[in-house]
Amino acid sequence: MNEVFFLHEYRFYLLLGWLFLSLWGLNVNTYRALIDRVRAGLSPAPENKVSDKLLNSLLAAPNHERPFHVEAAFLSSLQLLLGTILFYIFLSQGIELSIFYQFLYLLISVGSAFLWERTWTGIASLSVAASSFLPIHLKLGKPFMLLIRFLCLPFSLILGQIEKVMKSWADPKVVVKDEKNELADHIRTLSRESTTLDPEVFEIVGNTLEMGHLHVRDVLVPRNQVQVLDCEDTIEKNLEIVRSCGHTRLPICEGDLDQCIGIIHVKYAFRLLSEGKPIELRSLTKTPAILSSEDPLPVALRKMMRWKVHMALVRDEFGGIDGVITLEDILEEVVGEIQDEFDSEENSVQPLGKEKWKISGLSPVHELPSELCVKEEEELTSFGGLITRELGRIPDVEEVLTLNNLHIKILDADETRVLMTEVTLQPTVHKNQS
């Protein structure tokens, strides 16, 4: 490192330059931290009119893009370079050193410069972004922000073109997924900075981020579990179904779900009933909204909100109807299970003794006891669906059947699904082999 010794006499000017770069880096990274906090909902957007235009331009960028990343990297590199030289000059004192001490002092210098840079760009910038000094910082720092943006403009343009070329080589689906994962990790990190957020908020934030990886097929109500009204049936029979199921919205069909003619809100039927007016179900229907089973859940949510519907039919790849999805189904992925007065508090799986259980027909296959050895299949979502598939029909109440080594008694069922069962695990019989 003899080449560095000639800079020894300029150490004062190097020190001033290094401190200036440190403050400049603090300024840039405070802006970055502020944008991150605003996007994550941890801080309101500042009302400093001097910085409004700059901040608005930064907030308008896509969420997965952190602002001034080129500028911050440029300043950090210069700060690390000057810091390493300064620490080395301080340690060596301009004295000729052996190879060992040159290498040792170089390591110490790099480490010290790195720790200093991280302190300013990481810890200090986060503190300033959340402090009462922020308005003053924004006002004084705006000229330096504009200056560094101007100086780094050529680098930003070149790197932007390189990024486009490299993205064109990659799978677009992979790129989108990576951007979502990057954003998710970033928001989780920002959330942990706050000491005022409840655990429930963390849960909702996490669920919201994970929802981006789900599709409609993951949360829909399968068609064998959908309660429907048949316009060919009598109004008395349909009203009885409405009263017993407890749902506020139901599909109206001509036979089955593939022939759905609309969705009805049951309040309109009961309003006519209370007024003594004749009820014509066809006249109360709204054209059903249709989603694809492959639609990402956030896309489905935006569509339903734009269409102003609470229930939509889900179409499979062959044009048939897989089931239905409601806004409640989607929201439950964010806030957890939503129970109303019609939902049962009863556990879906209750042990009744050794190798005996009371199991709801709505129980997901993956929640069944491992002793039952029921394999999860993509087309099966519930234990009742498994029973219905094996029988080829809806079983009757008190009906008893054997499925592999499971002795199943139907405790409750309606016209469309199995509601409750009693399951006993039978011992496996091993045949003697000659």
What sign has the CA pseudo-torsion 141, 142, 143, 148?
positive
pLDDT at 341: 42
Give residue 434's pLDDT band: very low, low, confident or very high (50, 70, 90): very low
Query: What is the C-alpha separation between 345 and 69, in angstroms, rounded?
Result: 51
Please answer whether residues 229 and 263 qualify as being in contact, where contact means their C-beta atoms are separated by less than 8 angstroms: no
Residue with tokens 């799978």: 171
Highest mean pLDDT of the ranges 16-25, 93-102, 361-370: 16-25
Percent of the chain with pLDDT over 70: 73
**Which residue is it, tokens 């299970």?**
337
Residue 60 CA to residue 56 CA, distance in Å, equals 6
Please give the pLDDT value at position 94.
61
In tens, the pLDDT along 404-423 reads: 888 899 998 877 678 889 99
Question: Which range among 15-19, 151-155, 334-338, 411-415 shows the weakest confidence by mean pLDDT?
Answer: 334-338
Instruction: Give the pLDDT confidence score for residue 91 in this predicted structure.
Output: 80
Return mean pLDDT, the chain: 76
Residue 225 pLDDT: 83
Distance, C-alpha 385 to centroid of its chain: 28
Helix (H, G, I), strand (E, B) or coil at 212: coil
Nearest to 228 by CA among 238, 218, 219: 238
Higher pLDDT, 43 or 227: 227
Q: Which helix (H) or strand (E) holds 80?
A: helix 69-92
pLDDT, average across residues 53-63: 65
pLDDT number for residue 176: 47
Place of tokens 């089973």: 293
- Rounded Cα distance, 347 and 362, in Å: 11
Distance CA 296, CA 367 (A): 24
Q: Which two tokens stand for residue 166?
A: 């490299």
Which of the residue ranges 14-23, 65-74, 103-112, 312-321 would you say has the lowest mean pLDDT?
Answer: 65-74
Write the pLDDT tens digit of every residue in 213-244. 778 888 888 888 888 888 888 888 888 887 77
SS3 at position 356: strand
Least confident of 76-80, 345-349, 429-433: 429-433
d(CA 220, CA 188): 28
The reported pLDDT for the residue numbered 61 is 61
pLDDT value at 177 more than 50: no
pLDDT at position 249, please? 85
Q: Which residues contact 365 (CB under 8 A, 6 or more apart)?
A: 374, 375, 376, 377, 380, 381, 382, 383, 386
**Domains of the chain, first to last:** 2-162 (no CATH), 216-335 (3.10.580.10), 349-425 (3.30.465.10)
- Residue, of 338 and 306, whose pLDDT is higher: 306
Q: 11 pLDDT exceeds 80?
A: no
Q: For residues 82 and 4, which has the higher predicted lDDT (pLDDT)? A: 82
- Are the C-beta atoms of residues 357 and 351 closer than 8 Å to each other? yes
- Residue 131 CA to residue 37 CA, distance in Å, equals 12
pLDDT score, position 422 = 92
Average pLDDT over residues 141-146: 84
Residue 139 has what pLDDT?
Answer: 80
Report the pLDDT averaged over residues 245-249: 76
pLDDT digit string (tens) for 63-115? 556 678 888 888 888 989 888 888 888 887 766 667 887 788 889 988 988 99
Query: Which stretches within 317-380 are classed as H helix?
Result: 327-335
Percent of the chain with pLDDT over 90: 3
Q: What's the rounded Cα separation, in Å, for the pair 222 and 295?
A: 16
User: How much helix, strand and coil, in percent to the nearest 5, is found in the chain?
Assistant: 55, 15, 30
Q: What is the pLDDT of residue 342?
A: 45
